[in-house]
Structure 1
Amino acid sequence: MKRPKIIVIGAGYAGIAFLKSLDEECFRLGDFTIINKNSYHYHSTMLHKVATAEKSGKIMFDLREILHPEIKIIQQAVTDIDEIGRIVTTEHGKYEYDYLVCAAGFEKESFNLEGIENAMFIDSYIQSGRIAETIKLKFENALQNNTGMNVVVCGGGLTGIEFAASCADMLKHKCKFHGISDKNFNVHLISSTPRLLTFFSEKLSKKTADRLEKMGVKVTHGTRIVSLDKGRVNYEGGHLEADLIVWTAGVKGASIVSDSDVENDRGRVKVDAKLHAPDHSERFYIGDVSAVSDGKGGYYPPTAQIACEQGAYLARQFKAILNNASFDENFSFKSNGIICSIGDSYATALVMGFEMSGFIPSILKTIVKKKWNVKVFGLKGAIL
């Protein structure tokens, strides 16, 4: 009997959670292939640490080391999805599928801002590494010329805050190592919202801002950026000179989804209760390319937490599909909380309905990371 072909696009949290949650029976009954432009999976929630060259344990995993040997790995960029013909086209070939699991991830959202090409982005492992290298070069140049350095972070969301804190901490350590004052080495964070992390209470939001300020980050609230020049961020009512501009103001679903025939909003498909594309039982969208109703007229934000749960849920569904069995379970999600790291040993968090700040939530975030390491790498992932 011919085994159905299942193609997974993307090796982020959602795609890997799906493949790692399948059992041996699924691999006997189905032919699984993952297509990803890189040969590795990485912690996208830790990219701010990559961007500041901060040592924080293992962040990147080789796909062949973590995936079942029955899974075919195709390292190519997907260029098109033919939903009618059931064909995925890559830069080097075409691949037929019976079932498609699209977990293609996110891309930067520039909002068509004038001069966006003058910014760098924390949107991939490679790009984050380039930011770290740029910071190194800019710092060395400042040392040689006896000048300072301005890093401007555009966007006050989780990534922007975590990167700004990590960057400020790194610059202080570099200045201390070289025996110079850090007075002229500044990190600015510009947020369009009246306060940071509006899903937190006003009190916890203020704690977040206060901690950033204590670390030396200069926070500007309620400010809309109007354009970027080379070495300058222009906002309503003023501007900031910048040696490095890092844009963290938003993400959208992958362009292969936004450019496809399936109905979507900024690369996110409004999936049904089984995570199907509407009226298409052979196609599933999970992670950053899915929009899951929160039951209140809106959609859950595309976090790593919901991506992992979608992947695990979909594996249960595929076990039923491959066995020609009924599957009555609908996907449901209840957030365990949100943790925002502000430096190495401090975080603010909303966990299980409780708000907290300090060292304990930073430990919780480390535990979450270790738990994922164990998921993808087995027990030895706990020490990575």
Structure 2
Amino acid sequence: MSIPSHLKLKVPDTEYPRIIIIGGGFGGLKLAKALKKLRAQVVMLDRNNFHTFQPLLYQVATAGLEPDSIAGPLRKSFEGHFNYIFRMVKVTGVDFEKKEVQTRIGNLSYDYLVIASGSVTNYFGQDDLQKKVLPLKRVVHALDLRSHILQTFEQAELTEDKDKLDKMMNFTVVGGGPTGVEVSGALAELRNHILPSDYPDLDFSRMQINLVEGSDRLLNGMSEKSGKEALRALEKIGVNVKLNAMVKSFEDGVVQLNDGQLESDSVIWAAGVKGNIIDGLPAESVMKGRILVDEYNQVKGHDYVFAVGDVAMMETKDFPNGHPMMAPVAMQQGEHLAGNLKRLFSDKPLKPFKYLDKGSMATIGRNKAVVDMPGGLHFKGFFAWLIWMFIHILYLIGFRNKLITLNNWIWSYFTYDKGTRLIIRTFTAEQRRKASRDE
């Protein structure tokens, strides 16, 4: 797509040092907020003008929430910050010698650079799959998936071919981490409680929900107890879980696995993520698909260049393979880096980052969740589900978002209804291919 010639990346000149933050995710947002009183010009660059609470994307995709419930405008987050500037542009690279961030509408110089570009979907080298499956990493992905699900059942009611109907009504989720488990549970709830009322002419006993995981258990980042409980809960609500199964190909409604095949027109890809690497970094600064940083989040080999969150690879004794790619890590690194930038400005020594693990959780559906807490504490069932709800409401950006989300959840709980089952825009195979290119 061509860029209008009248557009140009520009920010006001300043007498203060300029800190550029690439990305308005959990890490970038936390960092920028913590720099409110610093005598510096803080410039945030992001291709969207909003922050997304990604842990709840699956609820947008399955008609539980609208996107504005889990997203908030970045400019709104910084009202009253005298030193904050936002520009909605997509960063294309960084020239470290010139100390410039590159975009398609111009370059911008920096004194300090923070790369908080997050992560993208990891297809593990299977480029052909990328054009055919449905990812769930951005708001647009969630809206596309929601449209696809609803369109599928609208078309199913018009289908006379029974073999085709089975493929249409079957859904395959790839990846047994929190996202895969939560999407599978949400699809099962749609099938069990909501879709039969919307589409009374369809036989939903034919609808199969398959969860495919390449390892021998679910929720690998959590305790074995949580993995077993998630498996038990999913099977109880009718999800077919296939462990030690790898997707080899997906063509014409057939998902080929290493140990068989599944018939399904819809494959939702939740198999993992990788760092969203910025062009211009030398090979020695990248490790395992993430940017190599020291204990101060400084990119190795580059002074005054930092990386936080999913894109940062910090090797420590406790985390030899880097910290988990989760929101709490990004938020803690962003806040810690803000403190270190203030120390730099005051000529004080930097403090190393140490991750405080506050636990992890996943929900399987109504009244069903698993929570792992430090010290080996483990909760499951209704109490864990309440903890999951409280934590997610707490971390949503903005009071309005918290209130809307809570109201939606209360309504859904007592009515077994999801009120956002609208096909606002149709979703096509061409849009799927375009989404894979834009990732």
Q: Same fold (TM over 0.5)?
A: yes
Structure 1 unmatched runs, 5+: none
Other structure's SS at 1:118 match: coil
Other structure's SS at 2:179 match: helix
Please list, as runs of the form range in 1=range in 2, the aligned pairs for 1:121-136 lying within 5 A after superposition. 121-136=135-150
The number of aligned residues is 376
Q: 1:243 to 1:327 in 2, by over 3 A?
A: same
Tell me which of 7, 16, 36 is aligned to 1:3: 16
Give the drift of 1:18: 0.7
User: Which amino acid letter does the alignment assign opposite residue 234 of structure 1?
Assistant: Q
Partners of 1:381 and 1:225 lie apart in 2 by: 37
Q: 1:357 to 1:86 in 2, by over 3 A?
A: same
Partners of 1:330 and 1:187 lie apart in 2 by: 45
**Structure 2 equivalent of residue 218 of structure 1:** 240
**Structure 1 equivalent of residue 262 of structure 2:** 240
User: Which amino acid letter does the alignment assign opposite residue 136 of structure 1?
Assistant: L
**Structure 2 equivalent of residue 60 of structure 1:** 71
**Structure 2 equivalent of residue 338 of structure 1:** 360
Other structure's SS at 1:53 match: coil
Q: Is the 8 A contact 1:114 1:226 kept in 2?
A: no
Q: Is the 8 A contact 2:296 2:350 kept in 1?
A: no
**Structure 2 equivalent of residue 88 of structure 1:** 101
Give the drift of 1:66: 1.1
Q: Is the 8 A contact 2:314 2:323 kept in 1?
A: yes
User: Which amino acid letter does the alignment assign opposite residue 34 of structure 1?
Assistant: M
Q: 1:357 to 1:294 in 2, by over 3 A?
A: farther
* 1:356 corresponds to 2:367: no
Structure 2 unmatched runs, 5+: 1-13, 405-439
**Structure 1 equivalent of residue 388 of structure 2:** 365
Partners of 1:205 and 1:341 lie apart in 2 by: 12
Partners of 1:136 and 1:177 lie apart in 2 by: 10
Tell me which of 286, 296, 306 is aligned to 2:329: 306
Give the drift of 1:366: 2.2
Give the drift of 1:201: 4.0
Tell me which of 157, 162, 170 is aligned to 1:150: 170
Q: Is the 8 A contact 1:114 1:228 kept in 2?
A: no
Other structure's SS at 2:304 match: strand
User: For structure 1, which segment, 283-292 or 350-359, has the greater mean C-alpha deviation from structure 2 after superposition?
Assistant: 350-359
Partners of 1:380 and 1:145 lie apart in 2 by: 42
Other structure's SS at 1:240 match: strand
User: For structure 1, which segment, 293-302 or 44-53, has the greater mean C-alpha deviation from structure 2 after superposition?
Assistant: 293-302
Other structure's SS at 2:158 match: helix
Tell me which of 206, 223, 246 is aligned to 1:184: 206
Give the drift of 1:114: 5.8
- Per the normalisation by structure 2, the TM-score is 0.81
Q: Is the 8 A contact 1:138 1:243 kept in 2?
A: no
Give the drift of 1:382: 4.7
* 1:161 corresponds to 2:181: yes
Give the drift of 1:369: 2.1
* 1:105 corresponds to 2:115: no
Partners of 1:75 and 1:35 lie apart in 2 by: 6
User: For structure 1, which segment, 364-373 or 9-18, has the greater mean C-alpha deviation from structure 2 after superposition?
Assistant: 364-373
Aligned-CA RMSD value: 2.0
**Structure 2 equivalent of residue 79 of structure 1:** 92
User: Which amino acid letter does the alignment assign opposite residue 169 of structure 1?
Assistant: E
Q: 1:246 to 1:380 in 2, by over 3 A?
A: closer
- Per the normalisation by structure 1, the TM-score is 0.92
Q: Is the 8 A contact 2:359 2:372 kept in 1?
A: yes
Other structure's SS at 1:277 match: coil
Q: 1:202 to 1:368 in 2, by over 3 A?
A: closer
Partners of 1:382 and 1:201 lie apart in 2 by: 29
**Structure 2 equivalent of residue 281 of structure 1:** 303
Q: Is the 8 A contact 1:107 1:255 kept in 2?
A: no
User: Which amino acid letter does the alignment assign opposite residue 367 of structure 1?
Assistant: F
Give the drift of 1:343: 1.3
* 1:42 corresponds to 2:52: yes
User: Percent same amino acid at aligned positions?
Assistant: 27
Give the drift of 1:236: 1.2
User: For structure 1, which segment, 178-187 or 243-252, has the greater mean C-alpha deviation from structure 2 after superposition?
Assistant: 178-187
Other structure's SS at 2:357 match: coil
Give the drift of 1:337: 1.1
**Structure 1 equivalent of residue 228 of structure 2:** 206
Q: 1:332 to 1:192 in 2, by over 3 A?
A: same
